[in-house]
A and B are shown apart, each in its own frame.
Chain A
Amino acid sequence: MPLDPVTQVSGRAVFIPGADIDTDRIIPARFMKCVTFDGLGEFAFYDVRFNSETGEKTDHPLNDPRFEGASILLAGVNFGCGSSREHAPQSLKKYGFNGVVAESFAEIFFGNSTTLAMPCVIATAADIAALRDAVENDPATIITIDVDGLRVRSSSGLDFPVTMPDSARDALVSGRWDPIQELLDNDSAIESKARELHYV
């Protein structure tokens, strides 16, 4: 079954400051006590969005009404580090994000996101700062991640190159971001590899 190609995503954006934002921060472990991914959206960044004692909203950017409905997440270095939990990108997608622009990504998070058709592209600190300023100045600014052309553009006139591994770009734009069918199609090669390996 062919999947929908992901050539570009666009929408309003929100900047989440800080380096090394780990997947425990994105989705605290207690919300992983579940047997489906349903309903994870409301718990994205939960412990930094809500004061644990009073239950009140903090000044986290996701609580800022100006950025309500943002679908592009802007972040710093090593975004998504730590635990391999797919619950993290699942919760971001279900919260409403369609793409992430960051200075760098942890690998497991990056791979999980690609498989969920949520493109993660790498930009320079200066370009991300320019995007941050653009959405701070006017939260209605539309940010577009052009996966096909590997550029990020804004309705305010920013336009700069971004990077992502060739294989991930290809998987997204050709609609092969979920590899399961292709993996299964190679069954005879899998069987012959299994016979070759002494321990299998």
Chain B
Amino acid sequence: MGKNLFQKVWDAHTVGTLADGRTQLFIGTHLIHEVTSPQAFGMLRDLGLKVKFPQRTFATVDHIVPTVDQDAPQDPLAAEMMQALRKNADDFGVTYFDLASGKQGIVHVVGPEQGITQPGTTIACGDSHTATHGAFGAIAFGIGTTQVRDVLASQTLALEALKVRRIEVNGNLRPGVYAKDVILHIIRLLGAKGGIGYAYEYAGDVFDRMSMEERMTVCNMSIEGGARCGYVNPDAKTVAYLKGRPYVDMSDFDATATRWLSFASDADAKFDDIVRINAADIEPTVTWGISPDHGISISESIPDPAKAASAQDKASIDEALAYMKLPAGTPIKGVKIDVAFIGSCTNGRISDFREVAKYIQGHRVAAGVKAIAVPGSQIVAIQCEQEGIPEIFRAAGFEWRGAGCSMCLAMNPDKLVGDQLCASSSNRNFKGRQGSPTGRTVLMSPVMVAAAAINGSIADAREVFDLQQAAVA
């Protein structure tokens, strides 16, 4: 019986078994940022410990950086966190992609673009969207701050192995259906807690055809489906993406590529569960509630609690609709928006901005809508500039900002105000997620955000733009 990728990577990184039965797993790559690392460095100092492998530890600043006037945060708490990361990186000898480096950005955008993210490796970060790196065939997952300390001090973690659920999506996506719709659809089907205890393997010809960026969008939201990590098996596209990137050893690249590909799940690999989805069933998908599994297609209506399957479902719908201030049983299409946000570790990559730029020329953001576009990294921003993308966004009425997490979680000045409703390319529609305790989030693909921005209300991008070419070629 063959092995799946998760088992291969897990076995290759197992240091031993701990007294409580957990595995001591070697973490080959540790990514850190300013929000979840300062306490971990504090614990290290208290214990008199060093960073075990500083050369395998990479830092950047993303959550709290302003996207306007980035070098001078007005917020003294934000400035203190940035100073702490600077000092910790210096004191412990950790590579730091800071604002002056030209390589700063959201940690899950920076890792892949530097070639730090590689197949067959283990990657941990004090951030639940670390599964993004699974797009490369890495086992990558989020950890808490005490675990950040564990990795800093020992380069290992105490963990239990996960089961593996293979999610196969086969067939052709319809025009106007994007990677974001695929993952929102999967989460809708399997639920926000469906992945607890599992790693998700995304397989089938839809993922085979996706670009690395699209695969990252899918893997990124594994945690929204309850799965701590998700991955796509490495293939020729993975190798081509990584070739020549700064942290890829090019001295014997063929051997490296062969080793990378050897981690892919074997044809006769065993899985704990298999789910099959028909690509043609996936529509442009948006959320209506306060959990990422509150998804519907753009042509559907907001659920009616009177038609709920159970008392528990009814209570859940009632709570969500009361918060969202949306009428039950009416179409989601046409719901007025106040803010449009394109960016985040889910959809802040070059391909996202290129795709939107293709369609917004000649259009204009509706009056009264604040639309912001935030590149995921400084390198993405530079690529966009080279291609004239910021001008296209500005001409359409978007504000073009500096790199960071921005309004995905609103730890910087980019926040919703009051109960503003935001069409957002980010990953979470939790209560208060975008910085206002009563702010409302509707998740969707970047092109759908652009359509909503232009219409002033939630819209079907296929009707607003000419989307006859298949999104995933």
Residues of A near any B CB (own CB < 8 A):
17-20, 22, 24-25, 28-30, 32-37, 47-48, 52-53, 77-78, 81-87, 89, 104-108, 111-112, 115-116, 165-168, 170-171, 174, 176, 178-180, 182-184, 186-187, 189-190, 193-194, 196-200
Contacts and interface: CB of A to CB of B under 8 A. Distances in A.
A190 B226 contact: no
A81 B196 CA distance: 10
A77 B313 CA distance: 12
A122 B85 CA distance: 37
B355 interface: no
Nearest 10 CB-CB pairings of A with B:
A112-B144, A86-B144, A84-B142, A52-B437, A78-B193, A47-B437, A33-B77, A35-B38, A84-B128, A179-B158
A108 B24 contact: no
A1 B409 CA distance: 38
A24 B433 contact: yes
A157 B131 CA distance: 44
B47 A174 contact: no
Contacts of A183: 18, 24, 150, 153-154, 156-158
6 contacts: A24-B433, A29-B63, A47-B432, A180-B154, A182-B24, A183-B158
B19 A197 contact: no
B28 A199 contact: yes
A186 B128 CA distance: 27
Interface of B (DSSP majority class): loop
B288 to A, nearest CB: 15
Nearest to A200: B28
Given A115-B146, A174-B20, A32 B411 contact: yes
Contacts of A83: 127-128, 409, 428
Interface string B374-401: 0000000000000000000000000000
Given A18-B319, A36-B39, A179-B150, A84 B160 contact: no
B196 A106 contact: yes
B128 A35 contact: no
Nearest to B151: A183
Contacts of B418: 53
B432 A77 contact: no
Contacts of B291: 19-20, 22
A110 to B, nearest CB: 9
Contacts of B436: 52
Contacts of A115: 144, 146-147
A86 B14 CA distance: 25
B193 A111 contact: no
A33 B81 CA distance: 7
A87 B14 CA distance: 29
Given A18-B319, A108-B144, A115-B146, A34 B226 contact: no
